[in-house]
Chain A
């Protein structure tokens, strides 16, 4: 039995022990995060080195361009159309109260080309293509197909990752343009055909407030999104382990990390683009 004088010391030891344990756990988490960050940086470095050293063969690149671009077009077009219509539904009541219904075209189209089109296309790409890439590469990893490539003297990053990265990089602007276009059409259809807004003023206001800079800035952002999706998804797949469960985890984490990357990049690129626009076009027309 502990003596009365020993009790505070024991409690003190318990507090110290639990604090040290908490610090050790925190340290381990930071250590693991730094190792993961280091591994991701090395992976990205290898990818960019191969991009500079040699480009993939056309017969390796083509299936990826088809998979990423052509196969994603229908879903991007469909979601783009609905986003345009939803924007119209959500904004109409507020703009009508202010008597600014005809400005709806400018609001919908500006939101689409600057923000929603690129983010929507990127989200669709992360969900449809990014997860599939992670699952495919993950399966190749756990079934030793990536090891088989290495043994044959083929660099797996050059053969598997570079074509996927290039496909995302080159195809996402096209998907973004498709999302923008279909969103504009959807918004126009709902605003003009369903809500009865005057088409001339709807289009006139769009032409005044939506500039080429807005369109290009959205497309430029999408290229960063595409690169991030490919990099994150390929990294997750490439480093998956533990059989079917590991492949599933890789596919899920690839979408989660890609989506977070899209939003973080969107914020920082948005700030840069906003400042650039104010610098280049100080007297540009304001919506309200």
Chain B
């Protein structure tokens, strides 16, 4: 496990004073975060706290109103379009609903990033696709199926295979186990762990699932929804190891981690922002 206290080395991803606003609504404010190479970070927090927004901003899908996101020394929001495209090829992104291309077969979906990179023969691409599908535990015959014919768990695994095919340096998972049964959730967790063991990949996992957090994460960051914070409070409520998470003194973190719905419900009833 990576020691989170040791931050002397240059982080792979550095977020500084990041502020994101949609219209008049502030979602993220003054977020500072450093992620060292090879770490698996779980990003948790209540719905609407900006977890997905944060990881989309990391790959330049959303532009901040203030602050910077640096990846390996590149400021993601000042790069030219072509440079950004090249840097993005170092990322793999598993979207919440898999985001597979409906008009393509599973095989074409997995092959797509490789074909866009170019320089591979058809047989090489096919070989890589079969290998990745095997890695995520999908049978060979799935290659000709359309995404619509697959179950939620299979779609997620195809999305992981598609993200892995270019051997990314950073893997971003947006709620990878949401909507899956416990067994399939564990299959996805196992895939995240195996991927990490096999390649020195840095991973950020956005999740609500505390089981996933405890299984896969080296470090946990918990965000609070910005509108729920009192003036001057930091938006990052917790930043530490999964072990430290269980012993935290912050009531909001404890409620989230232990799923204390009763107390939270009372709070929600008296909270106009919720």
Contacts and interface: CB of A to CB of B under 8 A. Distances in A.
A150 interface: yes
Contacts of B85: 153-155
Contacts of B97: 143-144
A153 B88 contact: yes
B112 A145 contact: no
Contact of A153 (B56, B89, B102): B89
A264 B152 CA distance: 47
Contacts of B102: 139-140, 145
A153 B86 contact: yes
Interface string A128-163: 000000000001100111011011111100000000
B59 interface: yes
B121 to A, nearest CB: 16
Contact of A152 (B56, B60, B116): B116
B173 interface: no
B99 interface: yes
Contacts of B89: 152-153
A150 B113 CA distance: 11
Q: Which secondary structure dominates where chain B touches chain A?
A: loop
B91 interface: yes
B226 interface: no
A39 B119 CA distance: 36
A144 to B, nearest CB: 4
Contacts of A144: 95-97, 99
**Which of under 10, 10 to 19, 20 to 34, or 35 or more describes the interface residues of B?**
20 to 34
Interface string A184-225: 000000000000000000000000000000000000000000
A145 B81 contact: no
Interface residues of A, number: 13
Interface in B54-95: 56, 59-61, 81, 85-86, 88-89, 91, 93, 95
A155 B116 CA distance: 11
B61 A154 contact: no
A16 to B, nearest CB: 26
Nearest to A151: B93
Contacts of B96: 144
Interface in B144-187: 166
Contacts of B56: 147
B101 interface: yes
A148 B116 contact: no
A152 B81 contact: no
Interface of B: 56, 59-61, 81, 85-86, 88-89, 91, 93, 95-97, 99-102, 112-113, 116, 166
Given A144-B95, A151-B59, 8 more contacts: A145-B99, A145-B100, A147-B95, A148-B99, A150-B60, A151-B91, A152-B166, A154-B116
